[in-house]
Amino acid sequence: MVQVCDRCRVKRVKCDGQQPKCGKCERAGVDCTTSAKLRRKTTPRGYVEPTRETIQQLRGELQRAHDQVRDVSAQVEELRATVARQNEELEQLKQLSSNINRVPSSHKGSSQGPVVGHLGRLVLGDSNAEFFAGSTTGVHFILSAQQQYQRRFQCPDHFPEGIFRLHILKVCHGRVQMSPSEPYLHWIEPQFLNLPKIEYEFLSQQDLTSFEAVFDRFQHCWGMLYPVLLSKQFFAALDQLFRGIRTSSDVSFLLQVYALLALDAFSHHRTHSGVLHHTLTQSHYDRMLSDLFGRMPNRGDLTTLQALLLYLLYLQSTSQHSLGLRICGMTVRLAQSLGLHRHSRRFRHILGETELRKRLWWCVYILDVQSSVLFGLPRTVQHADVDVDLPFNADFDDLHCEQLSYPLPGETTRVEPFIHYIQLSQLLSRCLQQMYTTTDRRGAVGKIQHLQREVDVWGQNVQSSQSDIALMVDIGKDSSGETSRYISLWLSLLAQFTSILIHRPALTFSPEEPQFGKSLDVCVESASQIIACFENGRDHHLLPRMWPAGYHLLFQSALMLLYNCWVRGPQEASTSQPSSLNLATSSDSMKPVQTAIELLKPKSTTAHDIASTPGDLNSGLSPEAISELSQASSFLQHLYNQSLWTNSRSIGQPLSLAQSPSLPISHSIFTSSPAQTPRSFDYSSVLDPMSIAAATWTPFSIDEVNQMEPFEFTDSFLVPWGN
């Protein structure tokens, strides 16, 4: 409200109402008096009083305008980046088009760098059924070595079909020796598999001491790499079975128990002197485990997953590949349905159950990666779908514990090797994703260097964290305990195999590429170390039966050394060997090949003799496995003799009578039956390597094979073992 002075009222002008003088009176220099005060509320003309609501509304509109401007600016920047990227792609396409018109057809695409070549083919698996084998199985490398062999020796012969399927070699342990005091004897009763009540009555009559011994042996043999069981949880459930208390997980737990006993029987060759022995064949174990597996409930839980993992380890140790691959897929889906692939913060579990869930998930993850590597198949578990963290480095044996005891500085735990195992499996998975996919095969040089750095960092972390499982070139006999030596041996073998998987795709490049020579050097060194690992682990008969290792890895490691000699020649191959191996001559550089031949060669020709020989790498082989390994060893001996004979001629060194290819090969394939002898490989050429003029067919080059359709790999020219 504005009070008008007397002077402004008389003059009828607008008064601003200032006190003690208004503006007009102040400028006029007169007194400003007010005789009558206003008694009503008024608003000066020309002024608008803003309200709080109007101000708030205007501020909101202003903020929305700012947001719209920011969004439009971001869209403009994105459009500019898209236009720039499209312009770059257009320039690359123009350059590629000009290169295609200018470069010969045999060199097209070289401007984009080397491209990894992959090849998958079908091999004969169980029951002579076709089984797909991807590049990680080594089939592409064997074909490359075959082409180099044909070029080196001017020989049209193909490699035997059996060496392409060594990774799915069916290995049966035959019979295992047991004493009457062990709790396995009643398994052979026919009514046991059909009457569930007898199972509980049988278990209730057994002594807990025998099961404790079996559980301890499992923890020392398999539990360090696959900690799927907790002692308190296991023996509490076993006690319920002994007392006849039935639960919904009875069948699943019974599968755990019998898979554990079967693993113990086939993981330890034990004899009992002075006690009457009873024999039990693998078919009894397979029948009982299959029956329990078929009776498991549809509802899956952690007990079911533990049982499937133990069953899968048994199938892995007995080389039942087809069934093991199906069970592996079931474990992945069951684990995902239980939410094990998600982070623990998404659920409300006590600490013990949370840690068990993490351990079970990473066991599933490891087996999925290893099955993908062994069989050359795509991974089931993708990294984008997993956010679970690693297990804590702490030991515990109770599912319901709410606090963990962590190790002091300098101390190690039983789960620490498992954590290193997980990290190496993650690296293997990244290798499959980056180097062995069908559609992304460019930029391999950078990927190889990055992955190899990760392997080196992993090895340094293992050495710094735990000396007992550190990677060593020569794993001695004086390590702390047999278990630590076995874990160290396995991690070392798997690390060297990882290096080969990283660098072997570079062998598909042109030999003129710099990365070809670098990767070949790494592959040769890793192959020599793998042969050394098998040599140091000849007492562990499970070593060639654990995924993804196998007899195929031993054979391909020796073939890698021969391939290096064929590509580079004897002089260059001997000088390209790593200095750590102390190999000075061509003959010395081939010594690991001789070691591999001896390791592949069974010590006996009958499965019974091998099964009764403890401490042998090839113990417990079936007659079919003996035949396959004998032929692989004889064929490798043939390649070794022929290479050594040719190298001696080229460098002018005398050849000893023992190395002469004109002499019969020890444990020769000539002793095999006609059905076991490859009909397409002319082994008469062993007597004279230079007299290979006649061929049964015209050999295909690796380039021609790469361009074939998948169904062509089942034709008879690639299956020389048939009649």
363 with 441, same domain: the answer is: no
- Which residues, other chains included, contact 451 with Cβ-Cβ below 8 Å and sequence gap of 6+? 427, 430, 431, 434, 435, 502
351 with 258, same domain: the answer is: yes
Among 170-174, 540-544, 580-584, 687-691, the range scoring the smallest mean pLDDT is 687-691
pLDDT of residue 692: 29
Tell me the average pLDDT across 109-124.
Answer: 68
pLDDT of residue 95: 73
Amino acid at 501: L
Q: Is the pLDDT of residue 175 over 90?
A: no
Q: Within a domain: residue 695?
A: no
Q: What is the pLDDT of residues 184-229, one digit of tens each?
A: 434 333 333 343 454 455 455 556 787 888 899 898 888 889 999 9
Among 13-17, 169-173, 662-666, the range scoring the smallest mean pLDDT is 662-666
Among 22-36, 345-359, 406-420, 688-702, the range scoring the smallest mean pLDDT is 688-702
Confidence of residue 453 (pLDDT cuts 50, 70, 90): very high
372 with 445, same domain: the answer is: no
pLDDT of residue 129: 75
pLDDT of residue 331: 95
Alpha-carbon distances of 479 from 294, 300, 470, rounded to whole Å: 43, 41, 11
pLDDT of residue 99: 57
> Is the Cβ–Cβ distance between 120 and 134 less than 8 Å?
yes
Among 17-21, 32-36, 520-524, 679-683, the range scoring the smallest mean pLDDT is 679-683
pLDDT of residue 530: 95
Tell me how long the chain is: 723
Confidence of residue 717 (pLDDT cuts 50, 70, 90): very low
- Which residues, other chains included, contact 642 with Cβ-Cβ below 8 Å and sequence gap of 6+? 153, 661, 686, 689
Q: Is the pLDDT of residue 485 over 50?
A: yes
pLDDT of residue 274: 33
Rounded Cα distance, 271 and 414, in Å: 29
Rounded Cα distance, 371 and 366, in Å: 9
Q: What is the pLDDT of residues 49-81, one digit of tens each?
A: 567 788 888 988 999 999 999 989 988 988 888
Show which of 370, 391, 413 is a domain's final residue.
413
pLDDT of residue 688: 33
Confidence of residue 621 (pLDDT cuts 50, 70, 90): confident
Q: Within a domain: residue 629?
A: yes
Average pLDDT, the chain: 75
Tell me the average pLDDT across 284-288.
Answer: 80
pLDDT of residue 206: 59
Confidence of residue 41 (pLDDT cuts 50, 70, 90): low
Amino acid at 142: I
pLDDT of residue 700: 43
> Is the Cβ–Cβ distance between 632 and 551 less than 8 Å?
yes
Q: Is the pLDDT of residue 272 over 50?
A: no
313 with 440, same domain: the answer is: no
Among 101-110, 282-291, 698-707, the range scoring the smallest mean pLDDT is 101-110
pLDDT of residue 493: 94
Show which of 391, 413, 435 is a domain's final residue.
413
408 with 545, same domain: the answer is: no
Confidence of residue 576 (pLDDT cuts 50, 70, 90): low
Q: Within a domain: residue 54?
A: no
Q: What is the pLDDT of residues 129-164, one digit of tens each?
A: 777 888 899 998 999 999 999 988 888 888 888 888
pLDDT of residue 44: 53
Q: Is the pLDDT of residue 691 over 70?
A: no
Tell me the average pLDDT across 616-635.
Answer: 82
Phi, psi of 279 (to 5 degrees): -100, 150
Q: Is the pLDDT of residue 559 over 50?
A: yes
Q: What is the pTM of this model?
A: 0.71
Q: Is the pLDDT of residue 523 over 70?
A: yes
Q: What is the pLDDT of residues 638-688, one digit of tens each?
A: 999 888 776 655 544 444 433 433 322 233 222 232 233 333 333 333 333
pLDDT of residue 292: 85
Confidence of residue 409 (pLDDT cuts 50, 70, 90): confident
Rounded Cα distance, 485 and 488, in Å: 5
Confidence of residue 336 (pLDDT cuts 50, 70, 90): very high
* CATH code: domain of residue 20: 4.10.240.10
Where is pLDDT greater, at 442 or 477? 442
pLDDT of residue 315: 92
Among 325-329, 446-450, 524-528, 655-659, the range scoring the smallest mean pLDDT is 655-659
DSSP 708-722: S-GGGGGSGGG-TT-
Phi, psi of 529 (to 5 degrees): -70, -35
pLDDT of residue 311: 94
H helix or E strand, kind and range, residue 124: strand 121-124
Per the structure, how many domains does the chain have? Answer: 3
Residue reference for tokens 């361009």 = 707
Tell me the average pLDDT across 341-346.
Answer: 86
602: Cα within 13 Å, side-chain hemisphere? 26
Confidence of residue 98 (pLDDT cuts 50, 70, 90): low
Q: Within a domain: residue 670?
A: no
pLDDT of residue 475: 36
Tell me the average pLDDT across 244-272.
Answer: 75
Q: Is the pLDDT of residue 417 over 70?
A: yes
- What percentage of residues in the chain have a pLDDT greater than 70? 69
Tell me the average pLDDT across 36-55.
Answer: 64
pLDDT of residue 601: 86
Amino acid at 281: T
- Which residues, other chains included, contact 389 with Cβ-Cβ below 8 Å and sequence gap of 6+? 343, 344, 358
Confidence of residue 91 (pLDDT cuts 50, 70, 90): confident
DSSP 260-276: HHHHHHHH-----TTS-
Confidence of residue 419 (pLDDT cuts 50, 70, 90): very high
Q: Is the pLDDT of residue 263 over 90?
A: no
459 with 543, same domain: the answer is: yes
CA nearest to 594, candidates 652, 504, 666 = 666
341 with 316, same domain: the answer is: yes
Where is pLDDT greater, at 176 or 506? 506
Domain encompassing residue 547: 416-466+480-568+591-602+621-646
Q: Is the pLDDT of residue 309 over 60?
A: yes
392 with 530, same domain: the answer is: no
Q: Within a domain: residue 273?
A: yes
Q: Within a domain: residue 576?
A: no
CA nearest to 713, candidates 124, 115, 117, 148 = 124
Among 93-97, 369-373, 444-448, the range scoring the smallest mean pLDDT is 93-97
Tell me the average pLDDT across 577-585.
Answer: 42
Where is pLDDT greater, at 642 or 722? 642
398 with 266, same domain: the answer is: yes
Among 6-10, 63-67, 109-113, the range scoring the smallest mean pLDDT is 109-113
User: Which one of 29-38, 70-79, 611-620, 676-685 scores highest in mean pLDDT?
Assistant: 70-79
Confidence of residue 390 (pLDDT cuts 50, 70, 90): very high
Q: Within a domain: residue 484?
A: yes
Alpha-carbon distances of 690 from 408, 582, 699, rounded to whole Å: 66, 32, 18
Rounded Cα distance, 288 and 196, in Å: 12
374 with 439, same domain: the answer is: no
339 with 442, same domain: the answer is: no
pLDDT of residue 604: 57
pLDDT of residue 113: 67
Q: Is the pLDDT of residue 585 over 50?
A: no
- What percentage of residues in the chain have a pLDDT greater than 90? 27
Tell me the average pLDDT across 698-709.
Answer: 46
Q: Within a domain: residue 614?
A: no
DSSP 156: -
- Which residues, other chains included, contact 323 with Cβ-Cβ below 8 Å and sequence gap of 6+? 315
Where is pLDDT greater, at 464 or 717? 464
208 with 228, same domain: the answer is: yes
